[in-house]
Amino acid sequence: MTFRFWLTLVICSLFVARPSSGTSDAWRVERFPPSQELVLGEITSVRDARSHARLAWAELLERGPAGLPLAVWYSEENDTWTVSEVLPPGFMGWVAGVILQGSDGRVLAVWFE
């Protein structure tokens, strides 16, 4: 696996693995039953990944677009796309993230941190 993929995975796990500010519900990774599985179609470009991420957030997190810039990473080895909102320097707040399967657009993970 590439260094970039592992670095992204480690950074994401730092945010997901522990609550912040001492509140037990300050972070959450949603798990969905198979009946609620979301498949959005093949992803062939960064534009597709961004579009699918926004759809996943609207459907699964019931959250519309926040207008924040989006960071997109592709893992060729795993054929996965990771999309995360990015806060501008000096700003604090919550951002959404999602991991999508490239071949069919299946949502593998979604979070709000």
- For residue 7, name the pLDDT band (cuts at 50, 70, 90): low
Residue 20 has pLDDT above 50, yes or no: no
Per this entry, what is the length of the chain?
Answer: 113
SS (H, E, C) 23-44: CCCCCEECCCCHHHCCECCCCC
Helix residue ranges, H only, the chain = 3-16, 46-60
Of all residues in the chain, the percent with pLDDT exceeding 90 is 39
Q: What is the CA radius of gyration of the chain?
A: 14
45 is in which domain, residue-wise?
3-17+38-112
The pLDDT value given to residue 106 = 92
Residue 24 forms part of a structural domain:
no
Least confident of 17-26, 49-58, 65-74: 17-26
Residue 32 belongs to a domain: no
In a domain, 58, yes or no: yes
Strand locations in the chain, DSSP E? 28-29, 70-75, 80-85, 96-101, 107-112
Number of domains in the chain: 1
pLDDT at 107: 92
**What is the value of pTM for the model shown?**
0.69
Which CATH number belongs to the domain containing residue 56 in this structure? 3.10.450
